[in-house]
Each structure stands twice: as C-alpha cells, then as structure tokens.
C-alpha cells in the first residue's frame, strides 16, 4: 500500500466515525462511495493491477468482517466500510487494520465493563458460552442475545487501529 491510498481512505473513515458515534450506524452513501472511489482510483493509478489489488482488498475486508457480523460483534455498516477500506488499501493493510481494531475494541470493551462493574458476570457468561460451544459444537451458543451484548461504536476502535496500522505497516 502506498501512503496516498491511506490518506485517500481517511475522509471516509472520518465520516464513518462521526456518524457511527452519533447514531451507531454507518450510512450506505459512505460505504458505497468508499468502495467505488477506491476501485476508481486504484484502477486509474495502477490499471488492471490496481483493480485486482482493490478487489483482493475488498474481499479481505468483507470476508473477515462478515464473520464478525455473524457472531454479533459488528454491524452491517462496518462490514461494508471495511470492503471500501480494502478497495483503497489492499488486502494486507486491511487485515492489519482489522487486527488492531479488534485489539482496541477489546480494550474499550473491558474499560466499559470495568466502569459498569460487570466484569464478574461477563466472565461467567463468556466461560459458559465457550464451554457450551466446546461440548455441544453449536455456534449459536457463542452469539449472545441482543440485550446481553456490549454495544459501542466499532469506529471508536477502527480509527486508532487504522492509525496504528499506518505507523506500523
């Protein structure tokens, strides 16, 4: 990934951050424009190789986040946004952003749990879900009910994750 691709993607990250923090939603106009412009710019700058680069990045961002969506960790807007991030930055950088974002999300989640003084009950729930999954091999045991899930805007973790990926890539 070249530096210009990150900076080209940054306005979409900023817009998604603002809307996600305000409404817990990322509108389609942000995700679709990130995806479309990522393909257009990569194609214009690097030709067919740029389009393949954008396609691989889109697939990586989409596939990795759709798995998180299925277990209830992120919303559909996050999935579509990471497809757009992938179109701009490619497969490896997108995967690195995802890893850093997950680490930051875990840290933020623990801060929220500790602040609410729910650490004990959350650990017991997690242990029982993992044990149930290991014994019964039922994926539905991993995904919690909506009222049990800890919710916060994933963009709170994606922005610092993107910055870390930029500096450490």
- How many CA atoms lie within 13 Å of 7's alpha carbon, on the beta-carbon side? 3
pLDDT at 145: 53
Q: Average pLDDT, whole number, for the chain?
A: 87
pLDDT at 122: 63
The interaxial angle of helices 155-168 and 3-23, nearest 10 deg, is: 160
pLDDT at 66: 95
Write out pLDDT tens, residues 14-59: 999 999 999 999 999 999 999 999 999 999 999 999 999 999 999 9
d(CA 104, CA 137) in angstroms, rounded, equals 29
pLDDT exceeds 60 at position 148: no
User: What b/e string do you get for 63-72 counting C-beta neighbours within 10 Å, with b at 16 or more?
Assistant: ebbbebbeee
pTM of the model: 0.81
């Amino acid at each position: 990934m070249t530096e210009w691709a990150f900076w080209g993607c940054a306005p979409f990250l900023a817009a998604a951050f603002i809307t996600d923090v305000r409404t817990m939603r990322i509108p389609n106009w942000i995700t679709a424009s990130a995806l479309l412009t990522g393909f257009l710019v990569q194609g214009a700058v690097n030709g067919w190789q740029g389009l393949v680069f954008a396609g691989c990045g889109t697939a990586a961002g989409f596939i990795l986040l759709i798995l998180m969506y299925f277990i209830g960790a992120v919303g559909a807007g996050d999935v579509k946004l990471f497809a757009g991030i992938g179109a701009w930055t490619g497969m490896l950088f997108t995967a690195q952003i995802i890893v850093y974002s997950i680490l930051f999300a875990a840290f933020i989640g623990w801060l929220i749990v500790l602040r609410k003084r729910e650490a004990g009950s959350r650990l017991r729930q997690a242990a029982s879900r993992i044990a149930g999954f290991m014994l019964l091999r039922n994926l539905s045991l991993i995904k919690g009910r909506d009222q049990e899930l800890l919710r916060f805007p994933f963009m709170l973790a994606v922005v610092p994750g993107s910055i870390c990926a930029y500096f450490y890539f």
